[in-house]
Amino acid sequence: MCVIEQPGTIVTIPAIVNVDEITDEAPEVKTFYMSFVDPSVGARFTLRSGQFIMCTVFGAGEFAVSLPPSPEHDRFHITVRRVGKVTNALHALRPGDKLGVRGPFGNGFPFADIKGKNIVYVAGGIGLIPLRSSIVHVLQHREDFGRIILLYGARSFADLLYRQNITQWRKTPGFETFITLDRAEPNWDGEVGFVNTLIEKAGVPVDNTVAFVCGPPVMFNSVIGDLLKRGMSEDAIVSTLERQMKCGIGKCQHCAIGRTLVCTDGPVYTYRQIKTLGEVI
Ligand SMILES: Cc1cc2nc3c(=O)[nH]c(=O)nc-3n(C[C@H](O)[C@H](O)[C@H](O)COP(=O)(O)OP(=O)(O)OC[C@H]3O[C@@H](n4cnc5c(N)ncnc54)[C@H](O)[C@@H]3O)c2cc1C
Is 105 close to ligand 1, i.e. is its CB under 6 Å away? no
78 and 150 fall within a common domain: no
**190 inside domain:** yes
The domain boundary residue, chosen from 80, 105, 130: 105
Return the best residue to mutate from 126, 242, 261, 281 for the ligand 1 pocket (most ligand atoms within 8 A of CB).
Answer: 242
97 and 17 fall within a common domain: yes
Range 55-82 average pLDDT: 95
Q: Say yes or no to pLDDT of 77 above 90.
A: yes
124 and 227 fall within a common domain: yes
Binned at pLDDT 50, 70 and 90, residue 277 comes out as: confident
122 and 92 fall within a common domain: no
Q: Say yes or no to pLDDT of 52 above 70.
A: yes
Taking CA atoms only, the protein residue closest to ligand 1 atom 8 is 66
**4 inside domain:** no
pLDDT in tens, 182-229: 999 999 999 999 999 999 999 999 999 999 999 998 898 899 999 999
SS3 6: coil
What pLDDT sits at residue 249? 86
Is 175 close to ligand 1, i.e. is its CB under 6 Å away? no
117 and 234 fall within a common domain: yes
19 and 74 fall within a common domain: yes
Q: Supply the CATH number for residue 43's domain.
A: 2.40.30.10
The overall pTM is greater than 0.85: yes
pLDDT in tens, 105-114: 999 998 878 8
Reported residue count of the chain is 281
How many structural domains does the chain have? 2
Taking CA atoms only, the protein residue closest to ligand 1 atom 10 is 80
